[in-house]
Amino acid sequence: MRVTPFPRATVAHVLILAVLAVAAVFAVLKAGEVTEARVAESLAGDARQRAEIYAQSLEGTIERFGFLPAAAALDPRVQSLLAAPDDPAQVATVNAYLQRLSREAGAGVVYLLIPSGLTIAASNWDTPQTYIGQDFSYRPYFTQARDGRTGRFYAIGTLTGVPGYFISAPVIIDGTVRGVVATKVSLDPLETIWREGSDRVLVTDQNGIVFLASDAGLKFRATKPLDEAARAGMERTRQYGRDDYAPIDLGRTETVGGVPLVTRSEAAPLTRALFEEASLPAYGWTLLLFADAAPVAIAGRSARAGAILALVVLGLIGLYGGQHLRRVRENRAAQRALEAAVAARTADLSAANLKLAGEIEERTRAESDLREAQGELVQAAKMATLGQMAAGITHELNQPLAAMRGLADNASAFLRQGREADAAANLTRIVSLVDRLGKITGQLRSFSRRSGTERVAVDVGVAVSESLAILSARIRDAGARVTTDLDPAARWVVFEPIRLSQVLVNLVGNALDAVKGRPGAEVAVRAWAGDGQVVLSVEDNGPGLDAAALARLFEPFFTTKPAGEGLGLGLPISLAIAREFGANLQPRPMPGGGLAFDLVMEVAKEAIKQDALKQDADTPPPERMRHVS
């Protein structure tokens, strides 16, 4: 039987179609691969920055109390007690001093030990779990301070079972170490903040033991095998009070565009996660961050779907064109057949368009998920900012709390003496202080909650007042004179209250950093209206910036601050928020030095009309709002 070969033209067509099919498959796969690599690289950069923020917040929480033992070691009452440790009167005096120091500083227990390791005075002297009479000579922080150095050690309390970070300092009298002052810092509030985020955060010691974690189930587990020397050391110092450290399966690593992704890990929040490390060399610790990598797969699927849709459309267009050319050459006698064929092809094209619409809708949902993930990052940055302001906020709360304690004690004494009027006056002052505490916590709660994207009328004066209240501790720390000058005509703008407050906190915070430590430091917040717009300006008399720095101000991660004091994200985020609400943010050099940022927003005309209707005809216009702090 003779086999008839394919005509040459048919073979050529088959080869061309095969080549096009291979090219199409390659293009689809390459589009997904390139998109996944870019998204993974972007997410890895974000995760790296968040890991540094977590590490800085941990270090800041500890170092707030780093001065406390050294300061107490210099107190004459402490040194006098070490000279006569059996004097009950001096023991009572030092107990009261340490208790007051612990309460006012917001620290844990503060206690005094003699060179043998025995505790002779403590801030918790009047509690069932007092440290007085306890021997802590086996703890490294004690031996380090006894040798004349500052001692530091993280461990679980052998008396209370509560973990904490211990800081100690020697008491040196006439060149000799006569005792040791130590304090215990609780890191539980920091772990609570970590649990509210979407990231999985672990902190390991030099032996690879997890002692801080956003997931409590991972604490006191080992990330690497323990040798006998490490086990013996932890048992000798009673560091964690256990002898079993179950290993953690950190999973396997795969690479997407040069970015490592962890899969099937106990520590990862989902199936795949980005992994970042941040070292804390001052403590010998390592911070491990596992972030959700789901946007990488979503972006890859969206890119491949888009490429497939584009190729389908091009193929349909090419097919339709070829059919049209062939039909033009046919005889008019085949006109009806031609029309039928065109109708069939049109139906195919309509079906393909319906499928294309469905795929576009899926891609739109994926982009919405990505925007939501970006919103989560903005919220995490906001919470990290609150963590960095924790020291100032603590000071704001400690003052009224200390005053309330004194007023309450006096009220009790007045009641015992029958002086009810004086006791009632003290209770009235306590109510006023409680209102002050409620205002402080209310401002922080409002600033930390998630904000929306709805465009509403916002009162500029209220936003400025709340933002300056949040920054009150930083204003005092900078030693700056802050003034406000708000035109009543510029009262209402189209924005969102919490987002406007976030922008103002970023701008005023940058201005305070610019003038900190400078003589005559001033920051001004002004507002004026014109041409249907309101300009809200934050000005400072700092050193200003050169032209090169001004040109790069809104680039992500660009900062002029020293290393470790800024991430370069505040201004880019503020600009993105402004544009989201139809506003604009632009820098303006000040004459004679300094820098201003002008936030140009749309006037809320409906709110202005409602204000006008509420005012009587004889009511004088509102005066210009000015304030100095």
Domain of residue 460, CATH code: 3.30.565.10
- Domain limit, last residue, from 381, 414, 444: 444
User: Is the pLDDT reported for residue 584 higher than 80?
Assistant: yes
* Residue 412 or residue 598, greater confidence: 598
Cβ proximity of 241 and 161 under 8 Å: yes
Residue 37, pLDDT score: 79
Angle, CA 301 vertex, CA 298 and CA 304 arms, to 5°: 150
CA dihedral 536, 542, 548, 552 (to 10 degrees): -40
CA distance 91 to 113: 12
State the CATH number of the domain containing residue 100.
Answer: 3.30.450.20
- Domain limit, last residue, from 444, 462, 490: 444
CA distance 131 to 142: 14
Among 45, 34, 120, CA closest to 77: 120
Instruction: For residue 537, tell me if it sits in a domain.
Output: yes
- pLDDT digit string (tens) for 307-351? 888 888 887 887 787 787 888 777 786 778 768 877 888 888 778
- Domain limit, last residue, from 186, 206, 225: 186
Tokens 């993280």: give the residue.
154
- pLDDT digit string (tens) for 262-275? 887 777 766 788 88
Instruction: For residue 273, tell me if it sits in a domain.
Output: no
User: Is the pLDDT reported for residue 586 higher than 80?
Assistant: yes
Residue 391, pLDDT score: 45
| Structural domain of 497 | 450-628
621 and 557 fall within a common domain: yes
Which of 2-6, 66-70, 162-166, 514-518 has the lowest average pLDDT? 2-6
Instruction: For residue 255, tell me if it sits in a domain.
Output: no
Residue 434, pLDDT score: 73
* Residue 316 or residue 407, greater confidence: 316
Averaged over 564-568, what is the pLDDT? 68
Instruction: For residue 150, tell me if it sits in a domain.
Output: yes
- Beta-strand (E) ranges in 240-356? 252-256, 259-263, 272-280, 285-292
User: Is the pLDDT reported for residue 440 higher than 70?
Assistant: no
Cα atoms in the Cβ-side hemisphere of radius 13 Å centred on 514: 24
DSSP state of 590: P
Instruction: For residue 179, tell me if it sits in a domain.
Output: yes
Instruction: For residue 597, tell me if it sits in a domain.
Output: yes
What tokens were used for 99?
Answer: 């208790």
429 and 578 fall within a common domain: no
pLDDT band at 7 (very low <50, low <70, confident <90, very high): low
417 and 470 fall within a common domain: no
User: Judging by DSSP bridges, how do beta strands 481-486 and 625-628 pair with one another?
Assistant: antiparallel
CA distance 498 to 502: 6
Mean pLDDT score across all residues of the chain = 83
For a pLDDT cut of 90, what percent of the chain falls above it?
Answer: 34
For a pLDDT cut of 70, what percent of the chain falls above it?
Answer: 85
Averaged over 517-525, what is the pLDDT? 92
Return the bridge partners of 603, or none.
493
* Residue 409 or residue 604, greater confidence: 604
410 and 523 fall within a common domain: no
User: Is the pLDDT reported for residue 421 higher than 90?
Assistant: no
Which of 190-194, 394-398, 484-488, 600-604 has the lowest average pLDDT? 394-398
The total number of structural domains that make up the chain: 3
564 and 615 fall within a common domain: yes
Whole-angstrom distance between the N-terminal and C-terminal Cα of the chain? Answer: 105
pLDDT band at 444 (very low <50, low <70, confident <90, very high): low
Residue 216, pLDDT score: 84
409 and 489 fall within a common domain: no
Residue 395, pLDDT score: 47
CA distance 372 to 221: 33
Residue 456, pLDDT score: 93
Residue 75, pLDDT score: 94
435 and 518 fall within a common domain: no
Collapsing DSSP states into helix, strand and coil, what is residue 277?
strand
CA distance 624 to 621: 9
User: Is the pLDDT reported for residue 187 higher than 70?
Assistant: yes
Residue 579, pLDDT score: 93
pLDDT band at 152 (very low <50, low <70, confident <90, very high): very high
439 and 455 fall within a common domain: no
473 and 586 fall within a common domain: yes
> What sign has the CA pseudo-torsion 312, 314, 316, 322?
negative
User: Is the pLDDT reported for residue 141 higher than 60?
Assistant: yes
How many CB atoms sit inside 10 A of residue 67's CB? 13
Residue 387, pLDDT score: 55
Length of the chain in terms of residues written: 629
400 and 460 fall within a common domain: no
Instruction: For residue 562, tell me if it sits in a domain.
Output: yes
User: Is the pLDDT reported for residue 622 higher than 70?
Assistant: no
CA distance 438 to 102: 23
Q: pTM, whole model, 2 decimals? A: 0.47
What tokens were used for 58?
Answer: 């941990």
Burial-class residue 326 by CB neighbours within 10 Å (0-12, 13-18, 19+): exposed
Among 206, 159, 200, 402, CA closest to 292: 200
434 and 469 fall within a common domain: no
408 and 528 fall within a common domain: no
User: Is the pLDDT reported for residue 432 higher than 70?
Assistant: no
CA distance 482 to 463: 15
Instruction: For residue 299, tell me if it sits in a domain.
Output: no
Residue 459, pLDDT score: 94
Residue 493, pLDDT score: 95
Q: Would you give the distance in Å from CA 132 to the centre of its chain?
A: 40
User: Is the pLDDT reported for residue 203 higher than 50?
Assistant: yes
Highest mean pLDDT among 32-46, 143-157, 541-555: 143-157
Residue 399, pLDDT score: 47
